[in-house]
Amino acid sequence: MTLEAGQDFIGNSSTVTYEAGETVSPGDVVGIDGGQLRAVNSGDTSPNPVGVVGHGGGEDGGEDYSSGENVPVHVDGSGVIVSVASGISAGEELGPSATDGQLGAGSAGYDAITDEGGVAGLSSNESVPSGHAVVSLD
């Protein structure tokens, strides 16, 4: 079974609901800017990361959440499926990358539990979608 972006893999995350200020996708790393959620990246004045968009798919039933929709956001958790840069390895400390909503090598206090696109090392029959990894938000 393939895990879904934004899914709480380990099952102990705390989730809040916040209004989107732009289109965001499950698994995106987001911050709060002007009272609304925005995807973070390292290349602009985006907000500091506060959490990860949860799996659920928006009010229209699609994958993304549009501006104005209420979005579930994981603000902590031992293992959430997060959008990451290609080549991320288990054990790496992560921070915002140059791509909106994605983590790459950095120092924002998030740690990769698995390699990008894999679950090697975890007792699991599931798989992680390409471009994602299990990440600790604690």
Identity of residue 7: Q
Each residue's pLDDT, cut to its tens digit, for the chain (138 residues) gives 678 888 888 777 888 999 999 999 999 999 998 889 999 988 876 688 899 999 876 555 558 999 999 999 999 988 899 999 999 999 999 999 999 999 999 888 899 998 998 877 666 677 888 899 999 988
Predicted pLDDT of residue 58:
57
Predicted pLDDT of residue 100:
92
Contact 89, 58 (CB under 8 A): no
Contacts of 104 (CB under 8 A, 6+ apart): 42, 84, 85, 88, 94, 95, 96, 97, 98
**How far apart, in whole angstroms, are the C-alpha atoms of residue 66 and residue 88?**
28
Predicted pLDDT of residue 59:
55
Predicted pLDDT of residue 62:
55
Predicted pLDDT of residue 128:
84
Residue 138's alpha-carbon distances to 1, 108, 109, 111, in angstroms, are 26, 11, 8, 9
Instruction: Sketch out the chain's domains with CATH numbers.
Output: 14-136 (2.40.300.10)
**What tokens were used for 107?**
């120092």
| pTM of the complete model | 0.89
